[in-house]
Amino acid sequence: MAESFAITFDYVLEGLSNPVHLNACVAIHPSDTYYTVSGISSHTSHVLPDQHIKKRKGRWVHKDSELESELSKIIGRAIDLYLDQMTTAKVSQ
């Protein structure tokens, strides 16, 4: 079973000049080492489809194309931040 957690991040959506604060649920797939990011939404509605990303050679890329995008980098940074905070919390216990 995949572990899951929530992340938040800011992203500039097409047609807007200011970033939108978004929330998403991340499921980790340890057998294939990728993450499914779903339910990407603002406080009112879903704004982006599910994303499947993975970390490859230190860069966050889309699972299917293995290409980096601004979205994969931003989501990846939010995942890294969450995982760093969880590691720090475990060390503090």
Per-residue confidence (pLDDT) for residue 81, from 0 to 100: 95
pLDDT of residue 1: 42
Sheet of 20-29, strand order? 3-11, 20-29, 34-41, 51-56, 59-62
Residue 10 has pLDDT above 50, yes or no: yes
Query: Is residue 24 predicted with pLDDT exceeding 50?
Result: yes
CA quadruple 42, 36, 5, 57: dihedral, nearest 10: -110
**Domain boundaries in the chain?**
3-92
Would you say residue 15 has pLDDT above 60?
yes
pLDDT tens digits, 53-71:
999 999 999 999 999 999 9
Of 44, 53, 42, 50, residue with least CA distance to 18: 42
CA–chain centroid gap for 72, Å, is: 7
For the entire predicted model, the pTM comes to 0.88
